[in-house]
Structure 1
Amino acid sequence: MSSMVLAPALVIRRSCSGDVEQMLPLMRQLKYPTTPSVLYERLCILEKHAYLCSLVAELDGKLVGTTFLKQHQTHDMIRPVTQITAMVVDEKHRGTGVGRELVEAAEAWAREQGSNQLVLSAGGERNMLAKSFYEHMGFICQGYRLSKLINS
């Protein structure tokens, strides 16, 4: 009798407020400063919001990646656009297809919401690996992103 070895099962699902403890190390790899209580509050908001979504990649019960999505539409858009506002795959799992699965799940969510375009900002020159990954996934680099802090 031969023994069968099962490959780990990767599941992509919406995040929930119970994901805080496993999501914190991912946020730190992304260099995103947050605390458990702040992340908990944000995940609770995402659970109820129609135009915001957070997806997680879970490998045998352990979170190994996440992406945050935001959908918006302006007066001059025929269809809404979905923005990937953040995405990270645990450094031990990069290059294994987790990022591809997260992007494909983001595309599916965007389509369900009526969007036909994903946009993102890849973090400038310091993150050329991320830019290369997104280009490999079919993203096209166009233009420049400008921002301005507004004093209160």
Structure 2
Amino acid sequence: MEIRVATAKDVSALAELMKHLGYPTTTEEMTLRFSHIESHPDYHTLVALYNDKIVGMTGLTKSFFYELDGMYVRIAAMVVDPDYQKLGIGKELIKVAEKWANNIGANVLALNSGDRPERSNAHKFYKNMGFEDKSTGFKTFYSTIVKR
């Protein structure tokens, strides 16, 4: 297994992995998304390879606290292909994410995960990795904001 920084050559694999998160994504859509992500210095994308095949990824963002001094890294996306789960790939992705967060001076690694039944195994994994269940998330869509 190998963990490395994602490149533009990986967008097809990233698009496939997004489907496992429940977000159908074409290679064309991921190409545009990744071009924005890759060019932003506060984003960091890692891919996991198993037998030279990309089977997992995590997308990280650096942010600053309003309520505390310092910064944190948020895992914006985390997925391992179901055919390759239970092989330690997710654990390695988290370890490398923690290393990156530490190297840039962040003192917290955080994530959000949907409150849906199909995410229950992911929630167990995160708790086993030391993450605490701390918050409830909310969102609205642009079209809703514009109508207000």
> Of the two, which has the highest radius of gyration?
1
Contact 1:15 1:56 in 2 (8 A): yes
Unaligned runs of 5+ in 2: none
Structure with the largest fraction of helix: 2
Q: What is the 5 A alignment of 1:58-137?
A: 58-126=49-117, 127-137=119-129
Size of the alignment, in residue pairs? 143
SS at match of 2:145: coil
CA distance in 2, matches of 1:43, 1:148: 23
In the superposition, the TM-score normalised over structure 2's length comes to 0.89
Contact 2:46 2:58 in 1 (8 A): yes
SS at match of 2:10: helix
Q: Paired residue for 1:41, among 24, 32, 54?
A: 32
CA distance in 1, matches of 2:7, 2:74: 20
* Equivalent residue number for residue 13 of structure 2: 22
Contact 1:68 1:84 in 2 (8 A): yes
Q: How far does residue 81 in structure 1 lie from its aligned partner after superposition?
A: 1.2
Change (3 A) 1:75 1:143: closer
Change (3 A) 1:46 1:143: closer
Q: Once superposed, what is the RMSD of the aligned Cα atoms?
A: 1.4
Q: How far does residue 87 in structure 1 lie from its aligned partner after superposition?
A: 0.6
Q: How far does residue 22 in structure 1 lie from its aligned partner after superposition?
A: 2.0
Give % identity. Answer: 33
Q: Is it true that 1:138 corresponds to 2:100 in the alignment?
A: no
In the superposition, the TM-score normalised over structure 1's length comes to 0.87
* Equivalent residue number for residue 54 of structure 1: 45
The Cα offsets for residues 50-107 of structure 1, whole Å up to 9 and x where unpaired, read as 1111110012221010011111114433111111111110111101100000011111
